[in-house]
């Protein structure tokens, strides 16, 4: 990069700031972790292959965009042949069928899992009712299913119920309970909840502002590849590296001159 100095032989203040931001961006990008791929299950583990193919991780709800419906459906049907009443496999297959647009069977399988008191099945029933997937949207029903799964410790349900409680959608607003649920979900390793908890501590929403706690939870979410947390860490690094180059605060204006109004003749 060519630097065009000003009259003093140094880059202008504006260029120094741009250079600092550029350096900070390069350094921050170099600090980002690499791919967050998990080890593939062995070929003799049909349930594990079904789980991965259906887009599930520790959060039990990886982005559905990543699902390959034909592969996931085939693997999950194979796994169910050996364990036809496994509630989790029913839920996995139900989610893969949803991605394929086969809503009647998808809803039926997730409902079977939920009826077996599967926390995952209950959480997915909440998702169906919240989003109106294969059923009429019903936030009260969604909250009821999330509550059942959250009480059983499902982190997805805990987080989703907390979001309803924060917004007052389908339930009465309860920020204190929402924060507790987000904390419970985050401590179980839910990256979305970890990121949200970082925001709450940063902004002082429902908790006392605590920059150290905010950073700690952003770090945990970033370690799992959460996009929002990675973006926060990137911008935080940019701010840190650019800070020494920031323009100093302007000097306060000089006080006005007050005339003394002395008489012309003192003697």
Does position 229 have pLDDT exceeding 80, yes or no?
A: yes
Does position 16 have pLDDT exceeding 60, yes or no?
A: no
Mean pLDDT, residues 194-218: 94
Percent of the chain scoring above 70 in pLDDT: 74
Look at residue 76 and tell me if it is in a domain.
Answer: yes
Closest CA to 126 of 114, 112, 117, 109: 114
Look at residue 46 and tell me if it is in a domain.
Answer: yes
Round to whole Å and give the CA distance between 103 and 45: 27
Look at residue 204 and tell me if it is in a domain.
Answer: no
- Which range is least confidently modeled, 31-35, 70-74, 130-134? 31-35
Our count of domains for the chain comes to: 1
Look at residue 47 and tell me if it is in a domain.
Answer: yes
Look at residue 222 and tell me if it is in a domain.
Answer: no
Band of the pLDDT at 112, cuts 50, 70, 90? very high
Percent of the chain scoring above 90 in pLDDT: 51
Range of the domain at 44: 39-116
- Which range is least confidently modeled, 142-151, 197-206, 228-237? 228-237
Place of tokens 């250079």: 19
Q: How many Å from the N-terminal Cα to the C-terminal Cα in the chain?
A: 72
Look at residue 20 and tell me if it is in a domain.
Answer: no
Residue 82 sits in a domain whose CATH number is 1.25.40.10
What is the pTM for the complete model shown?
0.71
Look at residue 220 and tell me if it is in a domain.
Answer: no
Look at residue 97 and tell me if it is in a domain.
Answer: yes
Q: What is the mean pLDDT of the chain?
A: 81
Place of tokens 């009465």: 172
């Amino acid at each position: 990069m060519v630097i065009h100095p000003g009259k003093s032989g140094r880059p202008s203040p504006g260029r120094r700031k741009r250079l600092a931001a550029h350096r900070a961006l390069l350094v921050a990008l170099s600090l980002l972790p690499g791919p967050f791929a998990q080890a593939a299950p062995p070929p003799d583990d049909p349930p594990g292959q079904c789980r991965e193919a259906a887009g599930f991780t520790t959060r039990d709800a990886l982005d559905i965009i990543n699902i390959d419906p034909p592969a996931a459906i085939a693997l999950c049907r194979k796994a169910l042949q050996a364990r036809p009443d496994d509630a989790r496999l029913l839920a996995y297959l139900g989610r893969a069928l949803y991605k394929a647009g086969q809503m009647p069977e998808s809803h039926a399988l997730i409902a079977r899992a939920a009826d077996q008191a599967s926390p995952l099945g209950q959480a997915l029933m909440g998702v169906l009712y919240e989003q109106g997937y294969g059923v009429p949207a019903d936030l009260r029903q969604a909250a009821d299913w999330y509550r059942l799964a959250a009480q059983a410790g499902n982190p997805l349900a805990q987080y989703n119920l907390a979001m309803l409680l924060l917004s007052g959608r389908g339930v009465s607003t309860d920020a204190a309970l929402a924060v507790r649920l987000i904390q419970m979900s985050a401590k179980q390793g839910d990256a979305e909840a970890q990121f949200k908890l970082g925001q709450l501590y940063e902004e002082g929403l429902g908790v006392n502002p605590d920059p150290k706690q905010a950073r700690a939870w952003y770090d945990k979410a970033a370690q799992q590849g959460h996009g929002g947390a990675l973006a926060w860490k990137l911008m935080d690094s940019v701010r840190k590296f650019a800070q020494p180059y920031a323009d100093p605060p302007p000097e306060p204006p000089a006080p006005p001159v007050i005339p003394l109004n002395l008489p012309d003749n003192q003697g």
